[in-house]
Structure 1
């Protein structure tokens, strides 16, 4: 009897539920992070998809350029031999660099500005923060997910574009490294510029609370940042000067390959510098020689920035932008905790 009872009890007992292991679930978003991704998934997926397609296309273009360079003796041959017919590759480099220069502006206007302004304008922010989530947590999720997407996209584009450009980086006729086309699209600069513009757009949207108005103001802000950055870009480096004392009848001194020449001068016996046009307008060669002697001109001076400073200049400028971006993020949190709704 006891055996029958035991058997019946054992048979009627429900099977134990399967034990869920941590590894069986995979990587999933949850809570506020899932909500933010769900809300802005169209923008996030568009950015990531465009990044993958752009990176793949750049890899393809680099392969073609390297095939051409190798066939023409690069890197051992003189640059004249492989620069002669490199027009199509140079053109694509310049076009892509020009397009990448718009990334901070586009993301600032279409991602940063509406990020908070849209929720504040529609009332979604009040609904989200009236639940269990605090305004600080909501803001942290909004900014955190957005920053991760922006960093992933800009780092990827920066790495693949620099990989494409570096083999011909010392040839300023292909892409001048001091221009925005190269300087602002490689290294840490595109990441810093884009984050600063996007966070600036977020702050503008939070203050204005109107999506369209925030996008317009952010566009003006982003363009102003680009203009100011271009104006002060060369000030990030240390100018190097090379001089000669062999007179004015010999060519000015040559500078290292890939260097950017800023200016050239005449040098006097006392070490002062005069503009290169000094004595140029004299009527005769005798008068010119007399002018040179009177001014005590003994040689040339050339000011330039070596390409070896590029990486340091980029990180110095990016550090400034990162600090400013952190300040904007802090302002958004301090202001938004009490006034975002």
Structure 2
């Protein structure tokens, strides 16, 4: 006769058995992850590699700056050897600037077009899954991953750039290399191009064609954005009233400020401004030129500039515009897709 020292193992209740497990995706969420896992893992891997590279390069730059004296680290006084570090920073910012292109062409365009082309969309929506749920899931999961990736890259790049952004004029914050890849801008820009790609794919229903068309639209958006980016800021002026003759100094811009307009202007006693070419055609005689300027009551120089203190405000304003357009496109995709998708 056998004696049991403990009770036989009994299957645990279903609720208790599942409580200790990590919840798994199901339904449309599982399908989206399964379909696009290659793109998702590629995005994650590229993000990790970029973060590691930026951390290493920033460490090298900070080691170099630590060898300099405090006087050399003042604005505009960095030695020529620093150029290789600024070139690395600018080059990496340029590479990160391709994130919106990748988001629109390789993540957004095939998202819905691939399912429509292969018939997966018809199969999914013929089951118990509604078109609204399917479209929402298709957009939400890649968008969430894209936001996370763009935010991490922007934060690390901003951390790299911050110690030197006002130390040298080689790293102009108004350029897309820095303005578009720091702060909130990468998130908003990537979401905009992603939504554009999704909308194009839904309308064209062919993956390759959608990718090509999306590329053209994203390039056009970039051209327009580069043209109007600086219009988001408020241009300020700085002037002098010590004359414009030999020995007269030009106005000094604040640290990190970027000069705007056509250059320097003549400032008159009434507060008006004249182009610097004024009186150049009068005569080669310097006295005649001076007399001409005096007749126009020129008392000094004036320059227009954008201060770096406006950068965050301009970024949030630009991001707000992009996110508004993104929301409108996403609403169009969902509303149009509920009625005419298949």
Q: TM-score, normalised by structure 2?
A: 0.92
Tell me the distance in 2 between the aligned counterparts of 1:218 and 1:74. Answer: 49
Q: 2:65, 2:73 within 8 Å by CA — same for their partners in 1?
A: no
Q: 1:72, 1:81 within 8 Å by CA — same for their partners in 2?
A: no
Of 157, 161, 174 in structure 1, the residue corresponding to residue 157 of structure 2 is: 161
Q: Which residues in structure 2 correspond to 1:41-190 (within 5 Å)?
A: 41-73=37-69, 77-79=73-75, 82-190=78-186
Of 215, 219, 224 in structure 1, the residue corresponding to residue 220 of structure 2 is: 224
The number of residue pairs the alignment matches comes to: 332
Compared with structure 1, are the counterparts of its residues 155 and 30 closer, same or farther at alpha carbon in structure 2 (3 Å cutoff)?
Answer: same
Q: 2:241, 2:301 within 8 Å by CA — same for their partners in 1?
A: yes
Q: 2:77, 2:167 within 8 Å by CA — same for their partners in 1?
A: no
RMSD: 2.1
Tell me the distance in 2 between the aligned counterparts of 1:294 and 1:272. Answer: 14
Which residue does 2:260 correspond to in 1?
A: 262
Tell me the distance in 1 between the aligned counterparts of 2:71 and 2:325. Answer: 41
Structure 2: state its 5+ residue gaps: 1-5
Tell me the distance in 1 between the aligned counterparts of 2:44 and 2:221. Answer: 24
Corresponding position: 1:15 with 2:13: no
Which residue does 2:321 correspond to in 1?
A: 320
Q: 1:168, 1:174 within 8 Å by CA — same for their partners in 2?
A: no
Compared with structure 1, are the counterparts of its residues 224 and 275 closer, same or farther at alpha carbon in structure 2 (3 Å cutoff)?
Answer: same
Q: Aligned with 1:242: secondary structure?
A: strand
Which sits farther off after the overlay, 42-51 or 249-258? Answer: 249-258
Q: Deviations over 1:30-88 (max 9, x none)?
A: 22111110111000110011101111110111111111111113587435664331122
Deviation at 1:241, TM superposition (A): 1.1
Corresponding position: 1:246 with 2:281: no
Compared with structure 1, are the counterparts of its residues 270 and 80 closer, same or farther at alpha carbon in structure 2 (3 Å cutoff)?
Answer: closer
Which residue does 1:304 correspond to in 2?
A: 305
Structure 1: state its 5+ residue gaps: 1-10
Tell me the distance in 2 between the aligned counterparts of 1:83 and 1:155. Answer: 33
Q: TM-score, normalised by structure 1?
A: 0.92
Q: Aligned with 2:251: secondary structure?
A: coil
Which sits farther off after the overlay, 222-231 or 167-176? Answer: 167-176
Deviation at 1:294, TM superposition (A): 2.0
Deviation at 1:298, TM superposition (A): 1.7
